[in-house]
Chains A and B, each alone.
Chain A
Amino acid sequence: MSGTIVTITSGKGGVGKTTATANIGVALASEGARVVCIDADIGLRNLDVVMGLENRIVYDLVDVVEGRCKLRQAMIKDKRLSELYLIPAAQTRDKTAVSPQDMIRLTDDLRDEYDWILIDSPAGIERGFRNAIAPADIVVIVTNPEVSAVRDADRIIGLIEAEEKGPGQLILNRVKPEMVKRGDMLGTEDILDVLAINLLGVVPEDDGVVVSSNQGMPAALDPRSRAGKAFRDVARRLRGEEVPFEALESRDGFFGRIARLVRPGGDA
Chain B
Amino acid sequence: MSFFQRLTGSRNRSAVAARERLHLVLVHDRAELPPGKLEAMKDDIIAAISRHIEIDTRGVSVSLTRDRHAQRLVADIPLAPPRARR
Contacts and interface: CB of A to CB of B under 8 A. Distances in A.
B7 A261 contact: yes
A126 interface: no
Grouping DSSP codes into helix (H, G, I), strand (E, B) and loop, the B interface class, with mixed when no group exceeds half, is helix
Interface string B18-44: 110111011001100000000000000
Contacts of A194: 22-23, 26
A243 interface: no
A182 B7 contact: no
A57 interface: no
B22 A183 contact: no
B61 to A, nearest CB: 22
A22 to B, nearest CB: 29
Contacts of B23: 194
- Chain A interface bracket (under 10, 10 to 19, 20 to 34, 35 or more): 20 to 34
Contacts of B13: 182-184
A180 B9 CA distance: 12
A186 B19 contact: yes
Contact of A150 (B6, B7, B15, B22): B22
| For the complex of A and B, 4 pairs with smallest distance between CB atoms | A183-B13, A183-B15, A147-B22, A184-B14
Interface of B: 6-9, 11, 13-16, 18-19, 21-23, 25-26, 29-30, 68
Given A147-B25, A151-B25, 16 more contacts: A147-B21, A147-B22, A151-B26, A155-B29, A180-B15, A182-B13, A185-B18, A186-B15, A190-B19, A194-B22, A194-B23, A194-B26, A196-B68, A257-B7, A257-B9, A261-B7
